[in-house]
Structure 1
Amino acid sequence: MKTSIRTDAEPMAFTADETWAGGFWSWLTFVGLMLVALLVSLAVPIATSPTPGALLAESFGWWVLILGFALVLGGGISLIVMFCCLPIVALIARALRRVDRIPVHIAVYALLGASIGVVAVLVATLVRDGTGRAYIVEESPVPFLTVVICAVSPVVGWWRASRAARRERASRASSTV
């Protein structure tokens, strides 16, 4: 039988493997949500077009190119960000190991993700095209969606990685009743 690192004093303690797993699930969630958001943003103009079939046929090659570019660029950059943030996440997990209130963990990880999203949007607004216009247009929903996706991703990663801790917590609670 495997001995747990979690105790009554530290009910939400994390192992290094759980931290890595949380990082992986955060990254995977971000990439998946990013691609879904991009697909929706590409599909809306086609769906509202008077000739959606023709527009889809004309733009299909662009879809593949845009989604592939987003997957490579967005997936690659977010993977680097995930690796850079894992030490911060490990410190947060260590600081929260004694806190057994789930909403606190969710709020902290959502705040971390939203902070990363705000930084990403600020950096992206510095990137300009040949006319000096930002690639991320402030009037578009892209900055807001970026922050939301960044906020949700670490929460999903934490939720997936903390399953063992939450199971043990529930088991301890039911055994004391």
Structure 2
Amino acid sequence: MSAAAVGGMRVVAGDAAVIRESWEVPERFSVLFDRYSREIHRYAARRLGADAVALADDVTAETFLVAFRKRGRYDLRREDARPWLYGIAANLIAKHRRTETRRLRALARVTGPDGEAFEERSVARIDARELQPRLAAALAGLKARERELFLLVAWAELSYEDAAVALGIPVGTVRSRLSRTRAKIRRALGESR
């Protein structure tokens, strides 16, 4: 949070206050960039793939540009701007979903170091690296809205409430959609529950 000296005391401005201040002093918006750009970039990079760092850079920059342009419509009752920023980033990443789906499907086809396909390997030898192709296939098999919600909760570590704000859906929808999505992933991974 940004800090300003007031009467010798350090005062930290919350996100809503920073956005409100940026209406009069646009440069104040940079505080949000300083607070959240690394986090948004990490999320974008994970979603777009390790070989798409430049694209993650672009998505991050565009996220803050869109947020800056839309700051006049921000709901100042929401102190935490993270869900709003993740929502913008998610919409921008959606433009790249076809690429993401192709990448996940390609990753699902990856064979192990011994040339055997994942299904041919012994279950006893499964580790996180060997699970990756099946998980990628499971993610690729999800509907875009299911994948987006799942990754906002799993990778961005948003709460159900924050994910609801980011996606503009009710919290109840988040809970039910996430439950169904997790069940689909478990089935795809061959887990019972």
TM-score in terms of structure 2 length = 0.35
Return the structure number with greater helix share.
1
Between 1 and 2, higher relative CO (CA 8 Å, sep ≥ 6) is seen in 1
Give the TM-score of the pair, scaled to structure 1.
0.37
